[in-house]
Structure 1
Amino acid sequence: MKIRRMLATAVAAAVTTPLVLLSATPALADTKPSPASTQKPAAGEDEKPPTLAELKAAVELAQKEYDAAVAEVARADAAVEALDKADHPLAVAASDAKKAAEAAAAAKTAADAELAKAEEAREKLAEDATDEEKQAADEAVATAKATAEAAATAKAAADTKAKDTAKALEEARVAAFTTLGLAQKAEKAAAKELAAAEQALADFEELGQECTEDKSVTVALSGPKKVTAGTSALFSLRVSNTSEKTFDEVEAYAFAAALPDSIEEDDFFEEYITVEWSSAAHPKWTEVTEENDAVRVGSLVKGGHADVKLRLTLDSKTPAGPGVVFAVGAYENNDGSCGFGEEFATADFEILAAKGDKPTPAPSPSTTTPAPAPTAGNTGTTQQGGSSGTPVTGGTLAATGSNDVLPQLGLAAGAAVVLGAGAVFAVRRRKAGAQA
């Protein structure tokens, strides 16, 4: 994921997730809002990212599950192959039953033939046959008939047994193939889980030292309070190093958005605003894009700060209403240590309809106490690590929307940006490492 999309996702999560909004409510209820540049992020309910030990444990568990799945596939495959062998018990039983059925059928055929022969002999007795001859013929027929009936009964039993044993063998084969299929499916899923666990561990190890929140890198924003759609406006961003050591590489991440009228709207991700940055060290305007997702501040001495200009260009189709700029800072030193801002900065502004568009309805009255107007912003920039005599003040999200939820949207979204800053900077470091 790129930085711009991650920041946008964090903001969207804030305006659509009740937990984030609820966590921000106590601070928002204050009738005297503090400047957003010093506003602490709300305590979210998001799960903490996994540790190295947890990721290794996950790989170990996934490996065990995959090994077990592979072993189960081997067992199931062996079971299938065994059923195809003639010496398998079920195969032997089916073969014996088949042979017995065939023998019973032959016995019945022979018995039936003897019965027919006895009956024919009785029919051919001469008219003057003695009583003894007639009695002998009748007894021969009765004996042959009993033998034939017994053979028929034996054949029926043999046929049933042959059918049952053949069915048992076939059912065993079906069951074995079913088990094999399920085992192969489980093996595939286990392999996928193992690959994901290994990739997560590799990504974590690629990042090196884990970055944490650090209050020593701060940001502040200021700018105009009204911007017309279809035009551009300049905002000032100051990144400060309040620590007692020099930061080797400092970056800032900025994101601007037109806030929706309500959290139910689904057009929040529409990119109406282009953000560009420029500084004394980098005078050429550089757009914040997926490939160039960070404001490059460079080295920043202890106690120093750097000023950056942000140029926001609003598309002519940008909807009128409240807008806001978010920013958060991060640093990385040559020794591998790194951190991201513990505080975020916001600067709110009102988006006016583009010239020629119909005027937007006046916003409904808000019960939220309006934030005090910001002081004049920084009028110039300094070299990296330098200083400026004009302070940059942070903006706050005023109640300029159509309902009371808009201030909450802005501040909660800003909180989400900071809560996700660790992952944001991790992505930045990963990309830098890959290009090294």
Structure 2
Amino acid sequence: MKIRRTLATAVVAAVTTPVVLLSVTPALADAKPSAASRAQQQGERDKPSVEELKEAAEKAQKAYDDAVAADKAARAVLEAALSDDAPLAVAAETAKQEAALAATAKENADKALTDAQAALAALPETATAEEKAAAEKAVTDAETAALSAGDAKAAADEKAATAREAADDARVAAVREYSKVQNAMKEALKAKEAADKALADAEEEETEPDEPDCVFESKLKTVVTGLPSKIVAGSTTDFSLRVTNGTDKTLDEVFPFVYFHATDKSGYNVIDKAFHLQWSTTASPAWKNVEEVGSAGSISPLKAHAHADVKLRLKVDAKAPAGDGLAFVAGDYINDESCGGNLPTEYAFELLAAGSAVDDVDDAKPGKSTPGTPDNRAQGVTSTTPVDSGDSVATGSLASTGSPSALPQFAAAAGAAVVLGAVAVFAVRRRNADSAS
């Protein structure tokens, strides 16, 4: 659902953006649009029209059709190149046969030489001088013929090898060229499918009816209990999150949001990936990984002035360095004609190196309530409303401001969260009810 994803992204982006960007102040945010807002506005201006997307889809279709035709032609060329009737293949076969004939001629010449030498050796002592001269000449002639046959065979073998190599190279080249054509066709198909999808999405968006404005209310409260103020790397910590409905009506869907942000002692190296969060409820007791950024299940529904609890389990990588962290806790809700949530509350904690000993650790304390949000006083009555175990996306609401955190390196992050959160407020003013699930 676009609203919740936008809100969660606003908080997470605020705490993970480089320090230089995070140094923006709320006063500056009031004076001029944030970088995220300007980028969003620029994206809207650059968004292509349906007609432009149709033209792009037509061009992509033509390019694909041309690629298919080129593939057909290239396949014919490849088949011809691989055929035994290919000119180089024919030349290689001819040279091979000539080499075979030369080898036979060489064998015959060698045999003739052997026979002549044997005849000379077999002459009796009574042979005449003429007979000896004739036998010696036969050996000399056979030797000459054998040498000539050997040279002819060597030349034929070399010719055959060269012809065979040329034919093989031609086949390899033909396969490579066809592979290029195939890859071009695959890329053209990808481009066509992307263009078709972009057009279909734009046409569907164009035909969707306008939904009424969402009346934003900030009457939700999220409170964490049991989160220690000191957490040791490599440990597992169980705590809970209570979401309270501060409105006078039942909320159709409520989405808890929990996000852990930390740096090492330098305050610059972000180590958020060392934190792994799971959630569980009475209705859905099996522990589930928080797959989406900040998602901690969904509550559907939550009655007026009632609350529901979510059990949470935090696992920290043993290799995580010592540092300082904040747990951002918030919630959003969606109704037919209203939506809302609470600005994230910061819970500061110290991250200790693996193996550190801790005794009598106090719970992490929440920062000040953000202006315009419920305070931390108890609200309403107890609710047994179950938390959904479905795939609803739970995200945060807006960014936190003003918390008197003991972590100076997070002060800039809180300021940037205000800027990005202000953008998120305008994002929730308008929503599509059909995309809320």
Same-fold status (TM-score > 0.5): yes
What 5-or-longer segments of structure 1 have no aligned partner? 239-251, 279-284, 286-308, 332-340, 377-393
Question: Aligned-pair RMSD on alpha carbons?
Answer: 5.2
Change (3 A) 1:138 1:237: farther
Q: Structure 2 CA distance, aligned partners of 1:324 and 1:222?
A: 11
Q: 1:380-434 deviations in whole A, cap 9, x for unaligned?
A: xxxxxxxxxxxxxx99733244432453364244245358669x946x55689xx
AA of the residue aligned to 2:245: L
Which residue is equivalent to 2:310? 315
For residue 360 of structure 1, what is the amino acid of its counterpart? D
Show the counterpart of 2:403.
399
Cα contact 1:55–1:200 (8 A) shared by 2: yes
More moved, 198-207 vs 7-16: 7-16
| Equivalent runs, 1:124-163 vs 2, <5 Å | 124-163=122-161
Determine the C-alpha separation between the residues in 2 that align with 1:27 and 1:352. Answer: 21
AA matched with 1:414: G
| Cα deviations by residue, 1:125-154 (Å, 9 ceiling, x for unpaired) | 454444344333332322222112101110
Relative distance call for 1:112 and 1:133 in structure 2 (3 A) is same
| Alignment of structure 1 residues 18-417 onto 2, 5 Å | 18=18, 22=21, 25-29=23-27, 42-44=34-36, 45=39, 48=43, 50-52=47-49, 55-56=53-54, 58-60=56-58, 62-63=60-61, 66-67=64-65, 69-181=67-179, 183-208=181-206, 219-222=216-219, 231-236=242-247, 257-258=257-258, 260=260, 262=262, 264-265=271-272, 266=275, 269-272=293-296, 274=298, 285=303, 313-317=308-312, 323-324=329-330, 347=343, 359-361=362-364, 397-403=401-407, 404-405=411-412, 407-408=414-415, 410-415=417-422, 417=424
**1:8–1:255 CA contact under 8 A, matched in 2:** no
Q: Would you say the 8 A contact 2:214–2:428 is kept in 1?
A: no
Contact 2:257 2:296 (C-alpha < 8 Å) held by counterparts: yes
Q: Aligned partners of 1:226, 1:134: CA distance in 2, in Å?
A: 123
Q: Which residue does 2:16 correspond to in 1?
A: 16
**Separation in 2 of the partners of 1:61 and 1:237?**
55
Distance in 2 (alpha carbons) for counterparts of 1:114 and 1:395 = 102
Q: How many residues align?
A: 347
- 1:347 and 1:236, CA in 2 relative to 1: closer, same or farther beyond 3 A? farther
Identity of aligned residues (%): 32
Provide the secondary structure at the position in 1 that maps to 2:35. Answer: coil
Gaps of 5+ in 2: 226-239, 263-269, 278-292, 315-325, 350-359, 376-397
Deviation at 1:156, TM superposition (A): 1.4
Tell whether the 8 Å contact from 1:222 to 1:237 is kept in structure 2 after alignment: no
Whether the aligned pair in 1 keeps the contact of 2:370 and 2:401 (CA below 8 Å) is yes
Instruction: Please name the residue that 1:246 is paired with.
Output: none
Q: Deviations over 1:158-201 (max 9, x none)?
A: 12221222233233334433444454455334423432331122
